[in-house]
A and B are shown apart, each in its own frame.
Chain A
Amino acid sequence: MAVIKLESGYNIGVDPHSCTFVERPSPVPVKRLEVTPDRNLPDLSIVSTGGTIASRIDYRTGSVTSQFDAGEIVSAIPELAGVANYRTRSISTILSENMTPAIWQDLARAVSEEIRSGVSGVIITHGTDTMAYSASALSFMLDTPVPVVFVGSQRSADRPSSDNAMNAVCAASTATSDLGEVAVVMHATTNDDRCAIHRGTRVRKMHTSRRDAFRSIGIPSIGTVSYPSREVTLEPHAVRRGTHTLALHEKLEERCGLAQFYPGMAPGILTACRGYRGLVLSGTGLGHVSTGLIPLIRDLIEGGTMVVMTSQCMHGRVCDRVYDTGRDLLQAGVIEGGDMLPEVALVKLMWVLGNEKDPDNAAALMQTDLAGEWNRRSFHGL
């Protein structure tokens, strides 16, 4: 079907054979706003990974607008102008489901360079689907003295009700705050009243479409940003600006996997993981798989795969010492993943195996809190 835009603005689909080619209109240049830096405001860097906070479809170029500079962002979200001066950098234009560990590495390097250049904070615009994975990856790869803030929108930027503007303004406010770690900043409620600041290794997307989909699991969020006042409140457990000195540990072992156990799980799913350097299991309850799978897991471990047990409960801590199945799993060499979220354990495993070659040291690191991903005490309920 050929789509026709009528003068009234409506689109209709008609048989393409009923249309005649007249001419191809020339593309209209994208309007840009010149922004003059305000010396009294801090400098921030915005790193885009695709699906920017200022995207829209463009019929005439046939794609999402790829221009991405401070002028365009500020013209899309004028409120940002009062928060900081911005420099921008685009490292990819992908949908977040197409994110890869290799792009995490590009991202970590880019952010590290931006921090080194002296900005007060970095904002990373990211699709929400895998934002938590990327936030967790950067949490391990980067020691940062300044806020590194992931932000996105649950409702597309091309709608008047989009959460993009408020999220971006809150992210920018967080990036100029006293925070000193990797965080995700998104709506805290369905209202446009405040954003929550989540630790990169404890955050999870818990709803497919709501604005307040992102939740801290296992710890309270590390802060909030009120809107429209832009007032940032950091909780006592948030890492403060300047606590760490900048360092980049960019190596990752990509041959790692994550498998969710389910009743009747076919052994083939585990045997397919032969040759993997690491495997995270998302087990049931306290961290279990069916007894029949345990010999296969033992084989995997003996073949050099590090196997880490987490729980699909999401909330709470793994304990493989309560039931026989758990004890058998420990016997087979499975490492208890504490209260780490399954996908965070996966990213951590990639990072640990990429940076530590000795298996015993690696196993010990998996059970050490490196970036706030592991609570020594379970102080937060459901």
Chain B
Amino acid sequence: MDYKAIGLVAGIEIHQQLDTTEKLFCRCATMLRDTADHSGEFFRYLRATESEMGEIDRAAKEEMKRERKFRYYTYDTTCLVENDEEPPAPLNEEALLVCLTISKMFSMTPIPQIHTMRKLVIDGSNTSGFQRTALVAMNGALPDGGRIETICLEEEAAQRVKDDTFSLDRLGIPLIEITTSPCMHTPEEVQEVAEHIGMVLRSTGKVKRGIGTIRQDVNISIAGGARVEIKGVQELDLISEVVRREVQRQQELIKIRDELKKRGASVSPNMIYNVTELFKQTKSGILKKAKRIEAITLMGFAGLVGREIQPERRLGSEMSDYAKKCGVGGIFHTDEKLAAYGITEDEITQLRQLTNAGEADCIVLVAGTSQKQTGCAIFQVFNRAEISISQNPVPEETRKMLESGSTAYMRPLPGAARMYPETDVLPVMIDQKRWDMVEVYELLTERTKRKAAMFVADYKFNSNYADQVAASPYLPRIELAIDSGINPDLAASTYIQYISEIKREGTDVTKFFINNADIRILQAVESGKAAKEVRYDLFKAVASGTSVENAIAKHAPSVSKNDLEALVQMIITERADFVAQKGKAALGPLMGVVMAKVRGSVDGKMVSELLKREIDRMIAGKSR
């Protein structure tokens, strides 16, 4: 597809957790917990409040369509600030410094005086009902001419455990938000920019790693469509797919609008009907349970509500998302097989009569627990249907990514009315002197190149292997091992092969790095105390809690060179006939005998050399 021709414009927002000791506005550790370990819980209601400009944000209004009770898990590693029971502590200086470093690495201009704001978020993910955020720097550069508009320092939201229950361990972890300008025009470009920004962030060594520590939001629009923000793309590889699917969705919505126009389709709130009575005796379990059922006839919509606009998504899915904001479970419509819900043909015929619907029309049903709920939901369906035949058939929305890369509606795009000054946090000055002192780091890509070249030159690694070692997450350990006198080949192969394998098996390999257990194992190998072959066993033993010394004693009982020579001598003497008969070919079978005796605790190469020497000597002795 020619994305430039269809006017694709995209920008991204990257949210990356910072690896600081303490949270942004309290002094709790930035530590994630197992929800099973929560030490307490409490619940609250949230209400939309007016901004200081006297307006209520449209996204907040949408969330307020139904009253929601939120439950929160607390831990012995969270405090009253996360509980929204204590004013925030001053802005975390360590986090600010990381944020300034990143800003400087993108050649940005710092804000002279940083003001913390409250960004209204009443989906429950923040106990306070807002996320604290501060604009730190503006106007950065990307390598291919793109621009970074802003960098903000924010607090991470609480993690949703299930439905309206949240876990407070994550709330307040410092988060950097990087917003690019809408400067990208193809799905691939979006992915490349995201990758580049991610690389710069990792170059600082001050960002958290692992699933969920970085999230991308993508802003997309095409000509005739609208700006849509897709939240929470966690895997980088999915970004371009998400962009492709959103382009498809916007194009399909435009096509549906054109088709509706051609058909002369129309919607009206006068076509909303209370059909509760009709389903009094229904066999449909789902409708039987409902206290009230309402229907709307969408005139001229037949076939289009059920039309796919994205893989697994239809116009009906969009209407359903809108209706769910009122608390109903979803919608039913005549473009789908209603028999699947236990609704009979007879009931559908009666429904068509009651709602004055013809074959060209589509009927949408909502079922709920009260008139308030269904009234709200059916009106949401009407709203979404009206948008679909309007001049702008793609509404400006915040959407969330589904697993496959398709998206679902979350809420309208928020406006400036969601921002309110955080009056409990004092502004922070960034003067020239402070800015000048901010450190910047070598980019990872540069460092990898530099290191790889060095490995080829100094250690004679072949260039592919050098690249692999330089890009390895264990590079700092490999370098430490080499600095501690370990042979570079031994050091590199240990991490690239064994440590990586042990990690794949699910072992937390970082525990080797505490007390330098890894280096001590390598030193034992280097000095001949343990054979190369038992490295895997040694690391496995240490991983299961054995000390390095005990692991060596168990898997590599020390066999001195003298002991070994004596052993070899003895074995050869015992099998003199065998040696005489096989000659040099005796080496292989005898190797096995010796290795079995020393249980792998001696380097095989050393055994083979000794054996070879002794066999040669015996053969020579015979012939003499």
Q: Interface on A for B, CB 8 Å cutoff?
A: 1, 3, 5-15, 28, 30-31, 56-59, 155-162, 165-166, 189-193, 208-211, 228
Contact = CB atoms under 8 A, between A and B. Distances in A.
A166 to B, nearest CB: 7
A11 B45 contact: no
B282 interface: no
Interface in B130-162: 130, 133-135, 150, 152
Contact of B112 (A14, A31, A189, A211): A14
B120 interface: yes
Contacts of B129: 159-161
Contacts of B421: 11, 57
Contact of A14 (B87, B113, B119): B113
26 contacts: A1-B112, A1-B113, A8-B419, A9-B117, A9-B119, A10-B117, A10-B134, A10-B150, A11-B117, A13-B429, A14-B113, A15-B112, A28-B54, A59-B52, A161-B44, A166-B45, A189-B42, A191-B42, A191-B43, A192-B45, A192-B69, A209-B80, A209-B87, A210-B80, A210-B86, A228-B45
Interface in B66-89: 69, 80, 83-87
Contacts of B329: none
Nearest 8 CB-CB pairs, A to B?
A160-B129, A13-B113, A9-B419, A9-B416, A11-B115, A10-B135, A160-B46, A161-B129
Interface residues of B, number: 50
- Helix, strand, loop or mixed for chain A's interface? loop
Contacts of A10: 115, 117, 133-135, 150, 152, 419
Interface string B433-468: 000000000000000000000000000000000000
Contacts of B111: 12-14
B49 A12 contact: no
A191 B418 CA distance: 25
A191 B69 CA distance: 10
B261 interface: no
B339 interface: no
Nearest to A165: B47
Given A30-B54, A56-B50, A193-B43, A160 B135 contact: no
A158 B53 CA distance: 12
A144 B129 CA distance: 39
B420 interface: yes
Contacts of B53: 59
Interface of B: 42-54, 60, 69, 80, 83-87, 111-115, 117-120, 122, 127-130, 133-135, 150, 152, 415-421, 423, 427, 429
A30 B52 CA distance: 12
B42 A7 contact: no
Contacts of A192: 43-45, 69
Nearest to A57: B52
Given A14-B112, A209-B80, A9 B44 contact: no
Contacts of B86: 208-210
B562 to A, nearest CB: 73
Nearest to B118: A159
A156 B46 CA distance: 13
A8 B419 CA distance: 8
Contact of A13 (B115, B117, B120, B150): B115
A159 B112 contact: no
Contact of A12 (B50, B85, B135): B135
A297 B456 CA distance: 89
Given A31-B54, A160-B122, A57 B423 contact: yes
A160 B49 contact: yes
A35 to B, nearest CB: 18
Given A15-B112, A191-B44, A192-B43, A6 B135 contact: yes
A165 B80 CA distance: 21
B418 A9 contact: yes
A59 B119 CA distance: 17
Contacts of B48: 160
Given A158-B420, A159-B49, A160-B122, 10 more contacts: A8-B135, A9-B119, A12-B112, A12-B113, A13-B115, A14-B112, A159-B130, A160-B48, A160-B120, A161-B46
Contacts of B150: 8, 10
A205 to B, nearest CB: 14
A52 B336 CA distance: 54
A5 B421 CA distance: 10
A15 B128 CA distance: 32
A209 B85 contact: yes
B135 to A, nearest CB: 4
A13 B427 contact: yes
B416 A8 contact: yes
Contacts of A6: 135
